[in-house]
Structure 1
């Protein structure tokens, strides 16, 4: 995996906002090749009858079967984004989830759609909201332009990763109060990273074209991969380079050190300081 340095400004922005935009994360050739693959995966959805008055019927969220192609395998170690994820988390990570999200146009005159504000990986259900740790980061790759509001991109509540409780949404409203709701304006080929703790939600596509994104989620190796990724074909894994093999879950024992990305991080001088089990005190 090629190296991209996470700048001090980028780290501060991610820590403060809970997300980070990466312009030109994909080349035009990559966007074209990935769109051809994903259009084929989404063919039944794209060919069905329009239901413009029901926004909830106009979305495809497809998760299994996205890693059968060389182009999507290459995305696992995308040099514009994954090195940043590694530096924001640590080398001890793997691919946690994948998703293909298509949204067909809905009637722009419909009333605001009910949201689904949430945090990822569901850890609040067991640990509550207070002092949640950052354990995962998703990378959203835009395969279409998102130049206008309400054109189908995930909405983000800026800074909400620091909240110690549920969102406060006034009765009759659809969005939380006291937070900036970000509907990013991006080009095809751009990407954004977002913290598992930030509150976010799907939004309708009120544009005149189908919106298309690919999402790859990364998490610490002690977080179980989504079930559709937990299929360790050792023969296939051995055909990949060491970093891709690690990210695909090639180390079956989480106590096995993350050699591939640890070596990568050390080579590029971004290996984290070790955390000691104990320290000695002076008598």
Structure 2
């Protein structure tokens, strides 16, 4: 990893924003050329899924897309993003979850029905004994389409709700929780969000298709949420990327890691030692 990536390190202002609101918007994380090349591969996958029988009127949720092309693999340790991820979670991390979503126009009339509000991680939210619930992981969403206007299948959030274990939903299931807002961003934007942030996907009432990639980073002792068939990529990956793709010397290394398990720690000791206090 090139030390030049440290110019994209998490700033104290960004840390404050993320800790207080539960999310962080980084504009122009991807260049126009990157958006174009990634979108081309995204569209190829989508066309393949249509040929295989996917209903073009419904959203495509496709996990484990990292092995499909190097443009996706290169985002695993992307220099403009990974330093902010380790700035929030530390060095004992890996990519435990990844999925792409294509949301075509719904063809439906806009309505005010309450969206499907949730926190990520399923049973974790019922079985972890703490308050507020632990962060554990975060996601980075790379937006490939323009969702700077409402009604385009926008990702909605309730800022600051990551510290709340419950969310008040309208009893009649009409309207959204108090404080809910759509995330409105241009193509190339990366949105980081705490897994605890109450959020919702929404119908696409526009005429364009919403396209977004999600990269989920968590601690290495968390099980993968997708099949994550990336082991064949280890051999041609540099050590830090290999860590992020789930490599470990043995099972105990997920709990008591050695330098061979977590080369990111070794790299940070040299280049950003304040990140390695223990």
Same fold (TM over 0.5): yes
> What count of residue pairs does the alignment treat as equivalent?
264
CA 1:249/1:220 → structure 2, altered by over 3 Å: closer, same or farther? same
TM-score normalised by structure 2 residue count: 0.88
Q: Is the Cα–Cα contact under 8 Å of residues 95 and 246 in structure 2 kept in the other structure?
A: yes
- Measure the CA separation in 1 of the matches of 2:187 and 2:197: 23
1:243 aligns with 2:240: yes
Does the residue aligned with 2:227 lie in a helix, a strand or coil? helix
1:134 aligns with 2:135: yes
- Measure the CA separation in 2 of the matches of 1:196 and 1:227: 16
Does the residue aligned with 1:71 lie in a helix, a strand or coil? helix
Q: Deviations 1:18-39 (Å, cap 9, x if unpaired)?
A: 0000111111111111111111
Q: Is the Cα–Cα contact under 8 Å of residues 144 and 212 in structure 2 kept in the other structure?
A: yes
- Measure the CA separation in 2 of the matches of 1:200 and 1:206: 18
Structure 2: 5+ residue stretches without partners: none
Q: Is the Cα–Cα contact under 8 Å of residues 22 and 159 in structure 2 kept in the other structure?
A: yes
Q: Displacement, 1:268?
A: 2.4
Does the residue aligned with 1:223 lie in a helix, a strand or coil? coil
1:21 aligns with 2:18: no
Q: Deviations 1:59-111 (Å, cap 9, x if unpaired)?
A: 11110233231111110011111110111001000001111100111236232
Q: Displacement, 1:49?
A: 6.7
TM-score normalised by structure 1 residue count: 0.86
Question: Which residue of 1 is the match for residue 81 of structure 2?
Answer: 81
Question: Which residue of 2 is the match for residue 55 of structure 1?
Answer: none
Question: Which residue of 2 is the match for residue 67 of structure 1?
Answer: 67
Q: Displacement, 1:128?
A: 6.0
Question: Which residue of 1 is the match for residue 211 of structure 2?
Answer: 212
Aligned partner (choices 253, 257, 262) of residue 259 of structure 1 = 262
Instruction: Give the superposed CA RMSD.
Output: 2.1
CA 1:198/1:175 → structure 2, altered by over 3 Å: closer, same or farther? farther
Q: Is the Cα–Cα contact under 8 Å of residues 106 and 203 in structure 2 kept in the other structure?
A: yes
Q: Displacement, 1:130?
A: 2.9
CA 1:231/1:66 → structure 2, altered by over 3 Å: closer, same or farther? closer
Q: Deviations 1:126-171 (Å, cap 9, x if unpaired)?
A: 12673211110100001011121121122111101011x3211121
CA 1:41/1:21 → structure 2, altered by over 3 Å: closer, same or farther? same
